[in-house]
Amino acid sequence: MALVSIKDVARAAGVSDKTVSRVVNREANVHPDTMEKVERAIAELNYVPNLSARLVRTNQSRTIGVMTDLVSTTPYSGEILRGIHDWAKRFNKTVLIIHTGGDPEEEERAWRTFQEHRADGVIYATMFHRDAGLRRDALKLPTVMVNCFSSSDPDLPAIVPDDYGGCVGLIDHLLDLGHRRIAHVRLNPNLKAAHLRLAAYRDTLARRGIEVDETLVAEGMDGEVGKDLNVAFESTLALLKRDEPPSAIFCGNDEIALQVYCAVLSQGLQIPRDVSVVGFDDFQTVSKGLRPQLTTAALPYFRLGYEGAALLETLLGEHDVKGVSVMDCPLVSRGSTGAALER
Amino acid sequence: MALVSIKDVARAAGVSDKTVSRVVNREANVHPDTMEKVERAIAELNYVPNLSARLVRTNQSRTIGVMTDLVSTTPYSGEILRGIHDWAKRFNKTVLIIHTGGDPEEEERAWRTFQEHRADGVIYATMFHRDAGLRRDALKLPTVMVNCFSSSDPDLPAIVPDDYGGCVGLIDHLLDLGHRRIAHVRLNPNLKAAHLRLAAYRDTLARRGIEVDETLVAEGMDGEVGKDLNVAFESTLALLKRDEPPSAIFCGNDEIALQVYCAVLSQGLQIPRDVSVVGFDDFQTVSKGLRPQLTTAALPYFRLGYEGAALLETLLGEHDVKGVSVMDCPLVSRGSTGAALER
DNA sequence: TTGTAAGCGTTATCAT
DNA sequence: ATGATAACGCTTACAA
């Protein structure tokens, strides 16, 4: 009943176990005839090697653990996992994912599970860009952080998106189109990205010689992350009803842009004729679903995962890997931005 | 250098390997004192059992393989995977995910990988509801289909969402609000769901004694699934400009609803005052992001995954499991629907 | 080129 | 209640 083992193959082919092992692992020094005999037996018996048995002997699991704080859904961040899987497939590794929801007890269990499986290393991935607050002694295995970092130990290897740079690109784009009154509807201020994006907004305007009008900065959402209360619609209505309304609105992300669209359109205004709108994330269901489609900056979730896995591999290769790397958020120019009206 | 094994613990505790094994596996008949000695040694040496070694002996991997056709992103369907993970965590199983993109060669490789890991069974999950066309002899392990089915072998165990029933709920809801001219902006007709949703639309109107006006059925998208061309915006404009415009629009899904919103609002109309709108999927970034929020039917992705895993377990327990089960798509009533205007 | 013997870390069997 | 011994399926080391 038990599955066929290397011994069954050996018997069928009339050779020793070791010879079968050689064929399976494509080792040198096997006579072509022997090889053929063995391969025929393998095919006939439908033999598939047992990875666990191999691991017991070699101690090489070729497995990486992935720990995420995923609870409900920040939809596209699942792309991080796809990036990791893609890398793993290419390099023939196994991926073991555990969603902990950020619960410390669950995380403790996850570390243990990774150890039980003798994972080579771990990717600690968060579903939004944040301080994971990890301490070196909490890591039971070599670890790379993805989409997060540790303020208490900044040397720990990490990869995060370049929120700041992406926003610079967006604001420059609007300025190049002639916009001078650019409003900002903010992300939830509990998010790291909210601060980076606001800073980039202010800095870029200043660099280009535009005075920052703080009354053009409005709240878009608030409350605990994931259960945020979204007020972007109301904030936008208020902005539009001002005496001197903005000619462009820079939204904290695409989800906010969605509400900004609803508000702008409900006032009988047109995008981009009356108001240009830019988002952030390139959350495609929204950014490509809106009419006109949304100009935004792409959060490189897939690459974050892929490069994170690659970085872990470097780390495991005993190379020194230190500190936080940053991934581009390229501008994606679509129909929601146009030249500012002459006044 | 090698990790600490059961022998190291046995030596440290002054007992035999087997006794340590007994403690680790909480077997009966261990003296409390012995148990304590052993547990102290385990803690001191930081011993973690090696699952692979255990598997070699017991032949119980407690692992389920998951094969998906995920390529780029149908965002929320990642929830299927979360449902599977949740189930697995609760029942202490390991999940092995492979994204094949639907490529037959990749699928072949995936089956082999599952066999190498001695997975107990497999979940074959697709990212949208469709005919997977699987044949029994292609399955190398006990398999349950999730979000898909096999027309060529309808007895294969499968779980799919109740697209039809969900739409009945939506249309009934609109009829109860007094709407009589309900338009339908369709899903991509290459999707199974497109036909189910259209059929439910027609059947429900007929059942309630409303004559189906086929000119109120408009195309929403077309082309290869995943790269669809979305024309819902234009279709909606055409519907609204008719002499007798619809008082409500039933959208093929939430993504289409997004465009319908843009079209309705751009005409200076209000939702739901002038037009009620319903979607399908409850794709929350859209359905809860729109203003007003969208009335829709919830695609139970998470439950599909969770129940799929549970069904696989039943199948592995040698119970007979046959045919396709169906999961409810409950109505989620929000602000986009209101009473029809008197005429 | 091929085979033998030992061993990886665990559990199963059967004594004690 | 505890332990000795064999066994799981594979690879390593070494011999032939």
Nucleotide nearest to B13 (CA to C1'): D2
Q: What's at B204, amino acid-wise?
A: T
| Peptide linkage before B272 cis (omega within 30 of 0) | yes
- Tokens 């039971």 identify what position? A140
Phi first, then psi, for residue A66 (nearest 5°) are -125, 125
As a rounded value in angstroms, the CA-to-C1' distance for A249 and C5 is 76
CB B139 under 7 Å to nucleic chain D: no
Per-residue pLDDT of A228-258, as tens digits, reads 899 999 999 999 999 999 999 999 999 999 9
- B268–A contact, CB cutoff 8 A: yes
CB B54 under 7 Å to nucleic chain C: yes
Average pLDDT on A109-133 reads 96
User: 3-class DSSP state for residue A91?
Assistant: coil
* Closest CB from B2, B59, B97 relative to A95: B97
User: 3-class DSSP state for residue A163?
Assistant: helix
Average pLDDT on A75-88 reads 90
Which residues does residue A124 pair with via DSSP β-bridges, in sequence order?
A67, A145
A109 pLDDT higher than 50: yes
Per-residue pLDDT of B41-71, as tens digits, reads 999 999 999 999 999 999 999 999 999 998 7
Per-residue pLDDT of B219-256, as tens digits, reads 999 998 878 899 999 999 999 999 999 999 999 999 99
Cβ-Cβ pairs closer than 8 A, A with B, add up to 145
Confidence at residue A70, expressed as pLDDT on a 0 to 100 scale: 83
Cα distances (Å, whole numbers) of residue B236 to B221, B243, B251: 12, 14, 10
Per-residue pLDDT of B254-297, as tens digits, reads 999 999 999 999 999 999 999 999 999 999 999 999 999 999 99
CB within 7 A of strand C (chain B, 55-114)? 56-58
CB A131 within 8 A of CB A97: no
Interface test with A, best of B3, B50, B69 (most A CBs within 10 A): B50
Confidence at residue A2, expressed as pLDDT on a 0 to 100 scale: 58
3-state secondary structure A166-211: HHHHHHHHHHHCCCCCEEEECCCCCCHHHHHHHHHHHHHHHHCCCC
Provide the mean pLDDT of chain A: 94
Helix axes A192-207, A163-176, angle to 10 degrees: 40
Taking an 8 Å cut-off on Cβ atoms, the answer to whether A53 and B56 are in contact is yes
Taking an 8 Å cut-off on Cβ atoms, the answer to whether B73 and A78 are in contact is yes
CB A2 under 7 Å to nucleic chain C: no
Per-residue pLDDT of B160-198, as tens digits, reads 999 999 999 999 999 999 999 999 999 999 999 999 999
A77 pLDDT higher than 90: no
Confidence at residue A137, expressed as pLDDT on a 0 to 100 scale: 93
B1 pLDDT higher than 60: no
Per-residue pLDDT of B295-340, as tens digits, reads 999 999 999 999 999 999 999 997 889 999 999 999 999 999 999 9
Q: Give chain A's length.
A: 343
Helix axes A78-90, A301-316, angle to 10 degrees: 50
Confidence at residue B74, expressed as pLDDT on a 0 to 100 scale: 67
CB B2 under 7 Å to nucleic chain C: yes
For chain A, domain boundaries: 63-161+301-327, 163-299
Average pLDDT on B128-149 reads 95
How far apart are the C-alpha atoms of B61 and A199, rounded to whole Å? 51
A280 pLDDT higher than 60: yes
Interface test with B, best of A48, A108, A255, A283 (most B CBs within 10 A): A48
As a rounded value in angstroms, the CA-to-C1' distance for B264 and D9 is 66
Taking an 8 Å cut-off on Cβ atoms, the answer to whether B289 and A263 are in contact is no
Confidence at residue A74, expressed as pLDDT on a 0 to 100 scale: 67
CB A50 under 7 Å to nucleic chain C: no
How far apart are the C-alpha atoms of A257 and A278, rounded to whole Å? 7
Average pLDDT on A46-62 reads 95
Min CA distance, B115 vs chain A (Å)? 7
- Residue B121 is given by DSSP the state E
CB A29 under 7 Å to nucleic chain C: yes
Confidence at residue B183, expressed as pLDDT on a 0 to 100 scale: 98
B76 pLDDT higher than 70: yes
- Judged on CB neighbours under 10 Å (0-12, 13-18, 19+), B181 is middle
- Report the protein residue whose CA lies nearest the C1' of nucleotide C3: A16
Range name among A63-67, A317-321, B83-87, B146-150 with the lowest pLDDT average: A317-321
Phi first, then psi, for residue B163 (nearest 5°) are -55, -45
Question: Which contiguous run of DSSP H or E holds residue B242?
Answer: none
Taking an 8 Å cut-off on Cβ atoms, the answer to whether B79 and A86 are in contact is no
Give B 101-120 residues with CB within 8 A of chain A. Answer: 112-113, 115-118
Q: What's at A234, amino acid-wise?
A: E
What region, left, alpha or beta, does residue A93 occupy, with left being phi > 0 and alpha being psi -120 to 50 degrees?
beta
Percent over 90 (pLDDT), chain A:
91
How far apart are the C-alpha atoms of A110 and A101, rounded to whole Å? 11
Taking an 8 Å cut-off on Cβ atoms, the answer to whether A265 and B263 are in contact is no
CB B203 within 8 A of CB B237: no
Count the neighbouring beta carbons within 10 Å of the beta carbon of residue B46: 11
Average pLDDT on A61-83 reads 86
Nucleotide nearest to B31 (CA to C1'): D1
pLDDT band at residue B73 under the 50/70/90 scheme: low
3-state secondary structure B290-323: CCCCCEEEECCHHHHHHHHHHHHHHHHCCCCCCC
How far apart are the C-alpha atoms of A278 and A298, rounded to whole Å? 12
In the sheet with A63-68, reading across from the earlier edge strand, the strands are A94-99, A63-68, A121-131, A143-149, A158-161, A324-327
Helix axes B32-45, B6-13, angle to 10 degrees: 120
Tell me the two tokens of residue A165: 């740079």
A65 pLDDT higher than 70: yes
CB B39 under 7 Å to nucleic chain D: no
Fold of the B63-161+301-327 domain: Rossmann fold (3.40.50)
Confidence at residue A257, expressed as pLDDT on a 0 to 100 scale: 98
CATH topology match: B63-161+301-327 vs B163-299? yes
| Half-sphere exposure (Cβ direction) of B318: Cα atoms closer than 13 Å | 0
Question: Which contiguous run of DSSP H or E holds residue B171?
Answer: helix B163-176
* Closest CB from A53, A95, A259 relative to B289: A259
* CATH architecture classification, B163-299: 3-Layer(aba) Sandwich (3.40)
Percent over 70 (pLDDT), chain B:
98
Average pLDDT on B118-139 reads 95
How far apart are the C-alpha atoms of B35 and A320, rounded to whole Å? 42
How far apart are the C-alpha atoms of B59 and A264, rounded to whole Å? 63
Average pLDDT on A77-106 reads 94
Taking an 8 Å cut-off on Cβ atoms, the answer to whether A255 and B289 are in contact is yes
Instruction: Tell me which of B75 and A211 has the higher pLDDT.
Output: A211
Interface test with A, best of B24, B46, B50, B52 (most A CBs within 10 A): B52
A178 pLDDT higher than 90: yes
User: 3-class DSSP state for residue A98?
Assistant: strand
How many helices, marked H, and strands, marked E, lie in chain A?
A: 12, 14
- Judged on CB neighbours under 10 Å (0-12, 13-18, 19+), A209 is exposed
Question: Which contiguous run of DSSP H or E holds residue B161?
Answer: strand B158-161
